[in-house]
Chains A and B, each alone.
Chain A
Amino acid sequence: MAGVLLIVAAAIVFPGIILRTKSILSGRKGPGILQPVKDIRVLLLKGSVFSETSGLIFQAAPVITLASFACAMLVIPFARMEALVSFDGDFIFFIYLLAFGKFFAIIAALDTGSSFEGMGANREALYSMLVEPALFILLATFAMFTGFTSFSDIFSNFYISGSHYALIYSMIGFYLLAQVAMIENSRLPVDDPKTHLELTMIHEVMILDNSGFDKALIHIGLYLRFAVFGALLFNVLVPAEWNTPLQIALFFIIQVVFAVMIGLLESFRARNKMGKNPKFILTLSAIALIAFMVVLILTEKLIT
């Protein structure tokens, strides 16, 4: 339960911190930290315009996508506290549930019959497919390293071996998860949420026709997804044995650092050329293979 509450709390401030970082770095006064939340309130008050072409799928997709994130949140543990629902292989469920949400986001974009939104749809489909090997290799190394097969068990036993080399491994895990989080949440360098041209967008172009309530749901979903990945990052980094107040403090510190990092990255880095993205994403699989090698060594399978 604690995990869910913390994720929701983080989701409220997370996007604001990114915004603040970016506006400070670009020398603007910029909005306050709670501006994204206020934006959602405004969106909720507004009416909606629906395309004449769109139908049932377009109307239902934002709800389904948000529900998939909210439901995926339930299997994320927080330190020693088990997740609300925890079972063997819950991370498989987690990944596939996120894919369910994505499936609907993609077909909703196609439902508008727009010449732009298909563009975002097929990019989203391709990139999320390319991310999967990296994610699964990483999870395989988790399972191999700890000998457990659920998020709760893996994270509560992550540092139990006592080997200091585990730190190397956790750093690689952190890096990979952070990169996957950036791709999954359509941030730089794969996608730029603030781009102004439809031709260069991925996620933004899929939701061109959404307005009002639906758009608010899509934003909430994005913020939640960030916080969910933030919680995973926290679990990889912080040993589960530390005491709870410290854990909670660290949780927020990691979330803030992660958000500031994204802000920094987006202020100083240009987006990839669209054609280079597949290569960039596949590199993650290569790094995941390195993690795999590290674990083979750590578990004394490769070098005994």
Chain B
Amino acid sequence: MNTILFLIILFLSFWVFILPKSYKYYYTLVLLAGGLALSTIWSFRVFDGSDEQLIVRLDFQTFHSSIVFTIDRLSAFFILVVNLTVLTGFLYARGYLATYEKSKNALQFSIHYLAYMWLYFSMIMVVMIRDGVSFLIMWEIMALASFLLVIFDAQERSIMKTGISYLIQMHVGLFFILIAFLLVGKATGQMSFDAMGEYFSAHSNLLVFMLFFIGFGIKAGFIPLHTWLPQAHPAAPSHVSGVMSGVMIKMGIYGLLRILISVQNNLFEIGIIILTISIISGILGVMMAIMQHDLKRLLAYHSIENIGIIGIGIGLGVIGMALQNPVLSLLGFSGGILHVLNHSLFKSLLFYNAGSVYHTSHTRNIEQLGGLMKKMPYTAIFFLIGSLAICGLPPFNGFISEYLIFLGMFKSLGTANLYQSIIVTGSLVGLALIGGLAVFCFTKAFGIVFLGTPRSEEAARVSEVSKNMLFPQYIIVFFILLIGMASAYFVRPIFSLVSQTFGIGEIQAFRGAFIGDLTKINLLGGIFVLLIVLLLLYRHFHLKRRVVERGPTWGCGYTAATSKHQYTATSYADNYAKLAKPLLRNRETYSGIGNEEVFPGKKKFKTQSFDYFKEYLIDRPVHLLLEGLKKIAFMQTGQIQHYILYLFLYMLILFLLSYLNLI
């Protein structure tokens, strides 16, 4: 029954083309709701423990084939995460797309909605399908659908270019996964995730794992495979960026976890590889984020940072498996997996807010904004909550997952040997630095965008966005607070997910004690909030009995201060930029005031952030390739005789080669 329903929904999605423009949104919403309801039911059936895994078969009689959905707890978890963000994203889209009502025609909207639906369907099918070929097809549909979503604003040339670049990089990733599957298929005769265990037990683990890691890593955005991320996210409409950054890049994490289930030896090396790359991603991601002036690009770099945090958790989990340290394994994996959920919440929230800012001010440049909190109080407070959560500050949800990872590290220190101590302490410092840098970054982002006075005309004219756009944000904030304040209800199922999926031995005593600790954290968080509320109330009554005046900001005696005198994003990050310059190679161009200039003329100052990896991994090689291709362009004469000659020569070469037994 369920399966037929699911097929009908898939089939109906194409009908969005024939509907009138005003119905398309609601039609899509209904279909999405159907898919959400179905998959949520499936997931809960797995999670409540009645079934270990749920198998749903879709039979295609005409093709004599069938697609099998296998839902275990890992899949179920990812389905739930995807469902929540896809729902909030689509609710947000209603207000966000309203401005495009006139400039886009019905066909463009249909394509957008269809792509959104299929991005959703492909994501949940990716986590449910075990068969290699079907998995790759879904993986490909996911890339295509997201490509169509990214290029929604394609009348701008740069966006189309970004979209193409995104599509190419996704296919490079696909290529690696395909090769890995082919290797497994050749050895075991079965291209499927189920055959992985068989393959890994008989063959060397490292090579195939690395192929998968690169393939999935491109989707997830580990440095140095991240180059598509900072470009595609700013180009896409905000609800799409929210969904892509919130959940689509997590499909890479899902793939990684799915492979790790089967990996059997070389665990320690694999753990070290994941851990090292993750720490680099985390630190460099946030370091580059601080240098950005485009609000959405800043958030995109933060996605890289958070993928790094997730990876640190997973890496520690693998190392824990290698060392047979169940506590480290449990805490590492759980921290990473919980962070998947947490990041999907606060990152989508932040992207929606960035979208709202863009929606009303028509700029994403932080330097042009300022003082938005007075005009857009709800957006500002939501952005603040998202910022606090992403910095991992208690009592919000980000703290819980980072706390799990931290605790795993601290717990393992007591029994670790020399090398393990060094590794763990190193990652501890890495994670601590990431936290500190994130605070730096988000005080900048929030402070410059929402506080102070407007830095441009556009920023002064903004107004609060519609309730339609705020409503989904309430849902997200509700979950952020729920995970932060009632953590045990979320951590307990994740513990059982991890111990079931990765076969971690029984450590019931530890788990029980740990849940008790979580309750204490929540209690302290509650005390903290209560204290704030009480103090604010007291302050309110205290100030009522005193003289309260308003005056200009203290200007050190100078009374004609303008909004240009405020600290800007560049000046805020200046002391940091000086420190980080050797690593980030950010560029400054400034022609200083010369000695002879008594009356200095106009001066220009320009700073530019620089992505090392994009330059040397993408831009330079592409440039070289183009140069090379230009040299053989003389062959393109445009005369059909020449092309027939080429064809003839080609066949001749083939003939010769086969004659000489070379092919």
Which residues of A are interface residues toward B (Cβ below 8 A)?
A: 44, 46-57, 60, 63-64, 66-68, 70-71, 74-75, 85-89, 92-93, 96-97, 99-100, 102-103, 106-107, 110-119, 121-123, 125-126, 128-130, 132-133, 135-137, 139-140, 143-144, 146-149, 198, 208-209, 212-214, 217, 278, 285, 292, 296, 301-302
Residue in A47, A71, A128, A133 whose Cβ sees the most chain B Cβ within 10 Å: A71
The answer to whether A301 and B417 have CB atoms under 8 Å apart is yes
Q: Classify the interface of chain A: helix, strand, loop or mixed.
A: helix
The answer to whether the Cβ of B393 comes within 8 Å of any Cβ in the partner chain is yes
Tell me whether A100 and B394 are in contact (CB under 8 A): yes
Out of A51, A60, A86, A137, which one reaches B428, CB within 8 Å? Answer: A137
**Chain B residues with Cβ under 8 A from A122's Cβ?**
440, 444, 567, 571-576
Q: How far is the CA of A139 from the CA of B432 in the complex (A)?
A: 12
Is B259 interfacial (CB-CB < 8 Å)? no
Q: Is the CB of A116 within 8 A of B413?
A: no
Contacts of A63 in B (CB 8 A): 532, 535-536, 539
Cβ of B211 under 8 Å from chain A: no
Q: Is B55 an interface residue (CB 8 A)?
A: no
> A106-B443, A149-B411 given as contacts; is B453 within 8 A of A213 (CB)?
no
B520 touches A99 (CB 8 A): no
* Min distance, Cβ B605 to any Cβ of chain A, angstroms: 17
Interface contacts beyond A92-B402, A96-B399, A114-B561: sample of 12 additional A-B pairs, CB < 8 Å, sorted by A:
A44-B542, A52-B553, A71-B531, A85-B524, A89-B407, A100-B393, A113-B553, A115-B566, A118-B572, A128-B436, A129-B440, A132-B435
B592 to chain A, nearest CB (A): 18
Residue of B nearest to A135 (CB): B432
Identify which of A53, A119, A285 gathers the most chain B CB atoms within 10 Å of its CB.
A53
Indicate whether A51 sits within 8 Å of B552 (C-beta atoms), given known contacts A97-B394, A136-B429: yes
Give the docked Cα–Cα distance between A47 and B551 (Å): 13
Residue numbers in A under 8 Å from B388 (CB-CB): 100, 103
Residue from A88, A100, A103 within 8 A of B514 (CB atoms): A88
Interface centre among A66, A114, A125, A198 (most CB of B within 10 A): A125
Instruction: Give CA–CA (A64, B443) in the complex, Å.
Output: 15
Instruction: Tell me the bound Cα distance from A134 to B443 in angstroms.
Output: 22
Between-chain CB contacts (< 8 Å), 13 pairs: A51-B552, A52-B552, A87-B520, A89-B517, A96-B392, A102-B439, A103-B388, A107-B446, A112-B452, A122-B444, A126-B576, A143-B410, A144-B413
Convert B369-396 into 0s and 1s, putting 1 for each residue whose CB lies closer than 8 angstroms to a CB of A. Answer: 0110110010000001000100111100
Number of A-B pairs, beta carbon distance below 8 Å: 252
The CA-CA distance from A137 to B370 in the complex, in Å, is: 38
Residues B546 and A132 in contact, CB atoms below 8 Å apart: no
B residues near A118, Cβ cutoff 8 Å: 447, 566-567, 571-572
Interface centre among A56, A88, A213, A301 (most CB of B within 10 A): A88
Given contacts A88-B411, A115-B567, contact A129 B439 (CB under 8 A): yes
Q: Cβ of B432: which chain A residues have Cβ within 8 Å of it?
A: 132-133, 135-136
Contact between A64 and B532 (Cβ–Cβ < 8 Å)?
A: yes
Q: Report B-chain residues with C-beta under 8 Å of the C-beta of A214.
A: 539
Q: Which residues of B contact A113 (CB under 8 A)?
A: 370-371, 451-453, 553, 563, 566
CA distance A46 to B574 in the complex (A): 37
Enumerate chain B interface residues (CB-CB to A < 8 A): 370-371, 373-374, 377, 384, 388, 391-394, 399, 402-403, 406-407, 409-411, 413-418, 421, 424-425, 428-429, 432-433, 435-437, 439-440, 442-444, 446-448, 451-453, 513-514, 516-517, 520-521, 523-524, 527-528, 531-532, 535-536, 539, 542-543, 546-556, 561, 563, 565-567, 571-576, 579
Contact call B527/A71, Cβ cutoff below 8 A:
yes
In contact, B406 and A92 (Cβ under 8 angstroms): yes
Q: Is the CB of A296 within 8 A of B394?
A: no
Q: Which residues of A contact B576 (CB under 8 A)?
A: 122, 126
The main secondary structure of chain B at its interface with chain A is helix
Report the Cα distance A121→B569, complex, angstroms: 12
A125 to B413, CA, bound (A): 29
CA gap between A129 and B528 in the complex, in Å:
23
Q: Which residues of A contact B548 (CB under 8 A)?
A: 47-50
Residues of chain A within 8 A of B565, CB atoms compared: 115
Interface contact A57-B373, CB-CB below 8 Å = yes
| CA gap between A252 and B360 in the complex, in Å | 58
Q: What is the distance, in angstroms, from A217's C-beta to the closest C-beta of chain B?
A: 8
Q: How far is the CA of A132 from the CA of B418 in the complex (A)?
A: 23
Q: Given A55-B374, A129-B436, is A85 in contact with B523 using a C-beta cutoff of 8 Å?
A: yes
B415 proximity list for chain A (CB < 8 A): 147
CB-CB < 8 A to B425: which residues of A? 137, 140, 292
Q: How far is the CA of A177 from the CA of B413 in the complex (A)?
A: 21
Say whether, besides A74-B524, A301-B418, A96 and B393 are in contact (CB < 8 Å).
yes
Cβ–Cβ contact A209 & B575, under 8 A = no
Instruction: Give chain B residues whose Cβ lies under 8 Å from the Cβ of A48.
Output: 543, 546-549
Residue of A nearest to B415 (CB): A147
B550 touches A68 (CB 8 A): no
Cβ-defined contact, B535 with A66, below 8 A? yes
- Among A68, A110, A213: residue with most chain B CB under 10 A: A110
Give the distance in Å from the alpha carbon of A68 to the alpha carbon of B394 in the complex.
10
**Contact of B528 with A67 in the complex, beta carbons under 8 Å:** yes
Measured CB to CB, the nearest residue on chain A to B406 is: A92
Contacts of B563 in A (CB 8 A): 113
B553 touching A54, Cβ below 8 Å: yes
A53 x B575 contact (CB < 8 A): no
Of B403, B429, B451, B516, most buried by chain A (CB within 10 Å of CB) is B451
| Residues of chain A lying within 8 A (CB to CB) of residue B513 | 88
Q: How close is A265's CB to chain B, nearest CB, in angstroms?
A: 24
Q: Are B536 and A60 in contact (CB under 8 A)?
A: yes
A126 & B440 in contact (Cβ 8 Å cutoff): yes
- CB-CB under 8 A from B573, the residues of chain A are 122
Measured CB to CB, the closest approach of chain B to A87, in angstroms, equals 4
Q: Is the CB of A110 within 8 A of B443?
A: yes
Question: Shortest 7 CB-CB distances between A and B: which pairs?
Answer: A118-B567, A129-B436, A110-B447, A47-B547, A113-B452, A147-B414, A87-B517
Max chain A C-beta neighbours (<10 A), residue from B399, B524, B574: B524
Closest-by-CB residue of B relative to A92 is: B406
- Pick from A66, A121, A133, A285: contact of B567, CB below 8 A: A121
Q: Is the CB of A129 within 8 A of B433?
A: yes
Most chain-A Cβ atoms within 10 A of its Cβ — which of B410, B435, B547? B410
Q: In the assembled complex, how far is the CB of residue B488 from the closest CB belonging to chain A, in whole angstroms?
A: 13
B373–A125 touching, CB < 8 Å: no
Please determine whether B553 and A112 come into contact, CB atoms closer than 8 angstroms: yes
How far is A301 from B453 in the complex, measured between Cα atoms in Å? 56
**A213 near B543: Cβ-Cβ < 8 Å:** yes
Report B-chain residues with C-beta under 8 Å of the C-beta of A47.
546-549
Cβ-defined contact, A103 with B439, below 8 A:
yes
Given the known interface contacts A55-B374, A107-B447, the answer about A89 and B406 at a Cβ–Cβ threshold of 8 Å is yes
CB atoms of B532 and A133 under 8 A apart: no
Separation of A125 and B573 alpha carbons in the complex (Å) = 10
**Nearest CB of chain A from residue B382's CB, rounded to whole Å:** 13
> Which of B393, B402, B521, B536 has the most CB atoms of chain A within a 10 A radius of its CB?
B393
Q: How far is the CB of B247 from chain A (nearest CB, A)?
A: 26
